[in-house]
Each structure stands twice: as structure tokens, then as C-alpha cells.
């Protein structure tokens, strides 16, 4: 990354954001230390936290992270927001500190222009699957022959769409207990939502409304997360039961919006057609109308 910050592309970005390459590099190291070791995701340190650790201003951290964003080294997945009253009370009970807002969630990435020079372009857990020699049997060795075969590559799971990952991140913001424990990776929650039938057409609020409506229809009570051994599995079960066989509310909202637009367009077309069919007032009638108005005005003045 240091070589990339000294290039011509980085020089223009650094000048645009008024940032120094050394400062950007120090803040990038702080983000890397806060990220997941194997994926580079879940960087949730605030600007103020990084500024206190490095002894700089919050604006300096903000500008440096914009440089990392524009150069392709970081992606903001979820924008930070202020916490609700319930979330602040829960944070106080859990951490004993007064937290007022959630920091943005970022993911560290590798730009395509430097991927070939990166020592781990596919991540630290990935490696090229080179061909290997299978040890021949005794009979084949005796015959002086050998068999060269390739290992079958391991099965890889496809990542869910980015929209589903954003839904998972927003769910974790509302319910932080979803991201605790050994199975607390956001990608696991994203895959679970995708397996339940959640698509990018759903929103976080739509899912919560569907679960709440399902609970009310069945007469169920919401259980506190601390009473469950695996609260994430319980939530996924509730989501799957709530949305199975139902269309995302976004489709209904889009259909209503299209209907309103069509109705408005028809109304404007009707007005235009009526305007074309209207006849112009004759000149003699206009003159007589003007005389009548003058006479009325003169009579009112005389009185």
C-alpha cells in the first residue's frame, strides 16, 4: 500500500482531500488492526477513536478515510447513525458507557491495479491450488509408471448479494447480540437470510414488520435474546416463517407509485386535450363584455 500512496494516482487524490501519505498510511494500519483478520471486514472504529489513538484531529481521520475510499482500499458498507433511546440504554447496560451513535461499518479491499503485486490477492486463507502428484501404487511403481492427477478444488460457497449483506449489517446495528460469539460473522448471517428467501427487494424494516405481524397473528411473545442459546438461529427461523410465500412490500409500493404516476399522466393528457378543444371567444363578444364592465364600473362610481 505504501507504494500505491506514492504513485501519481494517489498524489491527485491526496491533494484533493488535503491529506498526507504518511497519515493515510497510519490510519490504514489502524483500520487493518480493527478489521477481521481473514476477510478485512467489520471495521467499526469511529473517527474520534482513531484520532485519540494517533493523536490527531477528527477531520484528519475523516480526510484520510476518504482518500482510502477513493483509492479503492476501503468501502463503507453501513453509514453511521445516532442510536435510539432503547439502543442507548442497552449499550449502557452492556458496556457501562454512554454511547450516542453507531460508527460506520467499513470493509478493507484490494484495488484491481495492485492486486497482482499483493502477497495475498485472494485473502490470507486462500492459496493457489497447484497440481500435485499422487503417490502411485506398488504395482505401478514396479512397472516404472506413474500417474499425475490434479486435486479437485474445494467447494466454495457463493456470497449473497451486497443488498442482503447490507440488510444483515443493519439488523446487527438494531440487535447487536446477533454479532456476538464464535458464529458472529456478518457473512454467516447474510447467508442465513439468503437461505430464508430474503432478497435485495426487502428492507430491514420490512423484515421486522413481517416478523411482528407473524407473531401477532400466532399470538406469540417476543423472547429476550439472553434467554436463547442461539438467538441468531431463532431470528432466522422467525424470518423464514414470516416471509415464506409473501412478496416483498417494495413491489407493492412500486406498483402503487406506478399507478399514481399513470393517473397523473392521464390527468395531464386529459387537460391538454380539453385545452385543444376549447373555442376562442369571438372579438365582438369580448367588446360587448368590456362595455358592460365599463358601464357597471361607471354606475358604481356615480353612486
Same domain, 37 and 102: yes
pLDDT over threshold 50, residue 126: no
Distance in angstroms (rounded) separating the CA atoms of residues 241 and 244: 6
Same domain, 223 and 180: yes
Q: What is the pLDDT of residue 57?
A: 92
Q: What is the pLDDT of residue 260?
A: 92
Identify whether 137 is part of a domain.
Answer: no
- In 10 A of CB 78, how many CB atoms? 20
Q: What is the CATH number of the domain that holds 18?
A: 1.10.10
Distance in angstroms (rounded) separating the CA atoms of residues 228 and 223: 8
Q: What is the pLDDT of residue 227?
A: 67
Same domain, 11 and 110: yes
Identify whether 301 is part of a domain.
Answer: no
- Average pLDDT over the chain, rounded to whole? 78
Q: What is the pLDDT of residue 63?
A: 92
Same domain, 101 and 178: no
Identify whether 146 is part of a domain.
Answer: no
Which one has a higher pLDDT value, 131 or 83? Answer: 83
- Which one of 84, 100, 117 terminates a domain? 117
Same domain, 6 and 80: yes
Q: What is the pLDDT of residue 219?
A: 81
Same domain, 51 and 85: yes
Same domain, 6 and 95: yes
Helix axes of 249-277 and 204-218: crossing angle, nearest 10 degrees: 110
pLDDT over threshold 60, residue 143: no
> Which of the 8 DSSP states describes residue 144?
T
Q: What is the pLDDT of residue 59?
A: 92
- Residue 91 class from Cβ within 10 Å (0-12 exposed, 13-18 middle, 19+ buried)? middle
**What is the residue range of 27's domain?**
2-117
Identify whether 149 is part of a domain.
Answer: no
Q: What is the count of structural domains for the chain? A: 3
User: Per-residue pLDDT tens for 43-55?
Assistant: 888 888 899 888 9
- In 10 A of CB 232, how many CB atoms? 22
Same domain, 253 and 239: no
- E strand or H helix at 24, and its extent? helix 21-34
Report, as an integer, the average pLDDT of 236-243.
Answer: 90
Q: What is the pLDDT of residue 128?
A: 42
Identify whether 148 is part of a domain.
Answer: no
Q: What is the pLDDT of residue 60?
A: 92
pLDDT over threshold 70, residue 239: yes
Report, as an integer, the average pLDDT of 291-295.
Answer: 86
DSSP string of 229-280, one letter each residue: S-HHHHHHHHHHHHHTT---HHHHHHHHHHHHHHHHHHHHHHHHHHHHHPPP
Identify whether 71 is part of a domain.
Answer: yes
Amino acid at each position: 500500500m505504501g507504494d500505491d500512496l506514492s504513485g501519481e494516482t494517489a498524489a491527485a487524490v491526496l491533494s484533493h482531500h488535503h491529506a498526507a501519505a504518511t497519515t493515510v498510511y497510519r490510519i490504514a494500519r489502524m483500520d487493518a488492526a480493527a478489521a477481521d483478520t481473514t476477510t478485512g471486514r467489520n471495521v467499526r472504529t469511529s473517527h474520534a477513536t482513531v484520532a485519540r489513538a494517533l493523536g490527531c484531529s477528527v477531520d484528519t481521520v475523516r480526510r484520510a478515510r476518504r482518500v482510502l475510499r477513493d483509492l479503492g482500499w476501503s468501502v463503507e458498507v453501513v453509514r453511521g447513525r445516532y442510536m435510539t433511546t432503547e439502543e442507548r440504554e442497552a449499550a449502557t447496560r452492556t458496556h457501562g458507557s454512554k454511547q450516542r451513535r453507531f460508527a460506520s461499518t467499513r470493509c478493507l479491499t484490494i484495488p484491481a491495479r495492485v492486486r497482482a503485486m499483493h502477497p495475498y490477492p485472494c485473502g490470507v486463507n486462500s492459496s493457489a491450488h497447484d497440481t500435485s502428484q499422487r503417490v502411485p501404487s506398488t504395482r505401478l511403481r514396479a512397472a516404472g509408471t506413474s500417474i499425475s492427477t490434479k486435486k479437485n478444488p474445494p467447494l466454495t460457497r457463493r456470497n449473497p448479494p451486497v443488498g442482503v449483506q447490507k440488510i444483515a449489517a443493519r439488523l446487527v446495528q438494531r440487535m447487536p447480540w446477533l454479532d456476538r460469539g464464535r458464529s458472529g460473522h456478518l457473512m454467516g448471517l447474510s447467508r442465513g437470510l439468503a437461505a430464508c428467501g430474503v432478497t435485495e427487494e426487502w428492507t430491514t424494516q420490512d423484515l421486522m414488520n413481517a416478523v411482528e405481524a407473524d407473531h401477532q397473528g400466532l399470538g406469540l411473545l417476543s423472547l429476550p435474546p439472553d434467554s436463547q442459546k442461539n438467538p441468531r438461529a431463532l431470528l432466522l427461523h422467525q424470518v423464514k416463517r414470516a416471509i415464506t410465500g409473501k412478496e416483498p412490500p417494495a413491489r407493492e409500493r412500486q406498483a402503487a407509485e406506478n399507478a399514481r404516476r399513470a393517473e397523473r399522466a392521464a390527468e395531464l393528457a386529459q387537460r391538454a386535450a380539453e385545452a385543444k378543444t376549447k373555442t376562442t371567444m369571438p372579438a365582438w363578444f369580448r367588446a360587448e363584455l368590456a362595455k358592460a364592465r365599463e358601464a357597471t364600473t361607471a354606475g358604481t362610481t356615480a353612486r
